[in-house]
Amino acid sequence: MITCPGAGEAFFGQDAQHDNNQFSYTENGDGTVTDNVTGLTWQQTPAATGLSYEQARTYCASLVLGGHDDWRIPTTKELFSISDFSQGWP
């Protein structure tokens, strides 16, 4: 085992030894938040109740927020992009 090498030293960057994109958000003041890393805009505080897939589609189709009426259900990849795994599994 070796100690973690510094930038420019042999073996630097192996075993995921690098900084990832840090979370960065902008509160838009209209009920939405923009993720500055991905460029995605999210509803700031969605309902805390569980919805079926069809209920979620209906909710998104009728949502008017932040000057937009074209909301949709995020993909799994998009949801993972805002998950903080440094705190364990969400």
pLDDT at 63: 95
Give residue-wise pLDDT tens across range 21-59. Answer: 778 899 999 999 999 988 999 998 877 788 999 999 999
- Percent of residues in the chain assigned helix, strand, coil, to nearest 5: 25, 15, 65
pLDDT at 18: 56
Cα–Cα distance for residue pair 1/76, rounded to 1 Å? 36
pLDDT at 10: 82
Give residue-wise pLDDT tens across range 76-87. Answer: 999 888 877 777
